[in-house]
Chains A and B, each alone.
Chain A
Amino acid sequence: MAFATIGTRGIQAQSVDLSSKVTGTLPVPNGGLGIASGTTGQFLKFTGTETLASAADNAGKILQVQSSIRSTETVTTNGSYVDTGLSVNITPSSTSSKILVMIGHGMNYTSSGTEVQFRIKREIGASVTELTKFVINLDGQGSTGGSSIMVLDTPNTTSQVSYLDQFYRSNGSGNVYLCVNNSSASITAMEIGA
Chain B
Amino acid sequence: MKRVSDAIQKINPDAKFTIQNNLDFDNCEIEWHEGTTPISLEDIRVEWDKL
Chains A and B come from one and the same complex: yes
B-binding segment of A38-46, A78-86, A136-144, A149-157: A78-86
Kindly state the separation between the CA atoms of A73 and B20 in the bound complex, as whole angstroms. Answer: 6
Interface size on B, residues (CB 8 A): 17
Chain A residue contacts of B21, Cβ below 8 A? 72-74
The answer on a CB contact under 8 Å between B23 and A72 is: yes
In the assembled complex, the CB of B5 is this many whole angstroms from the nearest CB of chain A, namely 5
B-binding segment of A9-17, A120-128, A175-183: A175-183
The answer on a CB contact under 8 Å between B5 and A75 is: yes
Is B31's beta carbon under 8 Å from chain A?
yes
Is A77's beta carbon under 8 Å from chain B?
yes
Kindly state the separation between the CA atoms of A74 and B17 in the bound complex, as whole angstroms. Answer: 11
The answer on a CB contact under 8 Å between B22 and A77 is: no
Pick from A72, A78, A181, A182: contact of B18, CB under 8 Å: A78
Kindly state the separation between the CA atoms of A75 and B23 in the bound complex, as whole angstroms. Answer: 10
Kindly state the separation between the CA atoms of A76 and B22 in the bound complex, as whole angstroms. Answer: 10
The answer on a CB contact under 8 Å between B33 and A80 is: yes
Cβ < 8 Å to B, chain A residues 63-97: 72-80, 82-83, 85
The answer on a CB contact under 8 Å between B20 and A72 is: yes
Bitwise interface map of A from 153 to 194 toward B, beta carbon under 8 Å scored 1, else 0: 000000000000000000000010100011000000000000
Chain A residue contacts of B34, Cβ below 8 A? 78-80
Kindly state the separation between the CA atoms of A21 and B30 in the bound complex, as whole angstroms. Answer: 78
Given contacts A74-B18, A78-B33, A177-B22, 20 further A-B contacts (CB under 8 A): A72-B20, A72-B22, A72-B23, A72-B24, A74-B19, A74-B21, A75-B5, A75-B18, A75-B19, A76-B18, A77-B16, A77-B17, A78-B17, A78-B18, A78-B31, A78-B34, A79-B16, A79-B33, A79-B34, A82-B18
Interface residues of B, Cβ cutoff 8 Å to A: 1, 3, 5, 9, 15-24, 31, 33-34
